[in-house]
Chains A and B, each alone.
Chain A
Amino acid sequence: MTGPLGRPFALPKEPVSCVLVGEGYAAAPLFPLAERLRERGCTVTLVVAGPDEAHLLSALEARRSARAVTVVTEDGSVGRRGLVADVIAEVLTKAAAEVVYAAGPVPTLHAVAAAAEAHGAWSQTALERPLTCATGLCHGCAVPVVGEAGISRTARACVDGPVLRGDRVRWTDLRTDLSAEPEAAR
Chain B
Amino acid sequence: MTDLAGLRLASPVLVASGCGGTGRELAAYGPLAELGGFVTRTLTLNARPGGPQPRILETPSGLVHAVGLQNPGLEGFLATELPWLAQQGARIIVSIAGSSLGEYAELARRLGGSPGVSAIEVNLSSPDAPTTGVFDVREPFHAASVVAAVHRDLPRGVPVLAKLRADVVRVVESARTVLDAGAAAVVVGNALPAAMPDGRQAGLSGPAILPVALRCVADLRAELPDAEVVGVGGITTAEDARSFLAAGATAVQIGTALLHDPTTAARVAAELRDGVPLHTGTSTSTD
Contact = CB atoms under 8 A, between A and B. Distances in A.
Interface in A134-172: 135-142, 144, 152, 154, 159
A181 B53 CA distance: 7
Instruction: Among A133, A137, A159, find the residue whose CB has the most chain B CB atoms closer than 10 A.
Output: A137
B213 interface: no
Interface residues of B, number: 28
Contacts of B67: 138-140
Contacts of B29: 2
A132 B53 contact: no
A133 B55 contact: no
A180 interface: yes
B52 A180 contact: yes
B56 interface: yes
A180 B56 contact: no
A159 B67 CA distance: 17
Contact of B55 (A2, A136, A142): A142
Nearest to B15: A137
Contact of A136 (B21, B54, B58, B63): B21
B260 interface: yes
B26 interface: yes
A138 B56 contact: yes
Instruction: Among B41, B50, B55, find the residue whose CB has the most chain A CB atoms closer than 10 A.
Output: B55
Instruction: Among A139, A154, A177, find the residue whose CB has the most chain B CB atoms closer than 10 A.
Output: A139
B70 interface: yes
A137 B50 contact: no
Interface in B243-281: 258-260, 262
B55 A137 contact: no
Interface residues of A, number: 21
Given A135-B21, A136-B21, 15 more contacts: A2-B262, A133-B259, A135-B262, A137-B21, A137-B258, A139-B18, A140-B56, A141-B55, A142-B53, A159-B25, A178-B53, A180-B53, A180-B198, A181-B53, A184-B53
A137 B53 CA distance: 17
A137 to B, nearest CB: 4
A130 interface: yes
Contacts of A137: 19-21, 25-26, 258-259, 262
A133 B262 contact: yes
A142 B50 contact: yes
A140 B205 CA distance: 14
A138 B19 contact: yes
Interface string A90-132: 0000000000000000000000000000000000000000101
B258 A177 contact: no
B258 A133 contact: yes
Contact of B63 (A132, A139, A142, A181): A132
B29 to A, nearest CB: 8
A178 B52 CA distance: 8
A178 B49 CA distance: 15
A141 B54 CA distance: 8
B126 to A, nearest CB: 14
Top 10 closest pairs, chain A to chain B, by CB: A136-B25, A140-B56, A133-B259, A137-B21, A132-B56, A136-B21, A140-B55, A138-B259, A135-B262, A139-B70
B25 A132 contact: no
B163 interface: no
14 contacts: A130-B54, A133-B259, A137-B21, A137-B259, A139-B21, A139-B41, A140-B65, A142-B53, A144-B49, A152-B49, A154-B50, A177-B52, A178-B53, A180-B52
A180 B28 CA distance: 33
Contacts of A184: 53
Nearest to B24: A136
Interface in A53-104: none
A133 B54 contact: no
A131 to B, nearest CB: 9
Contacts of A139: 18, 21, 41, 50, 55, 67, 70
Contacts of B198: 180
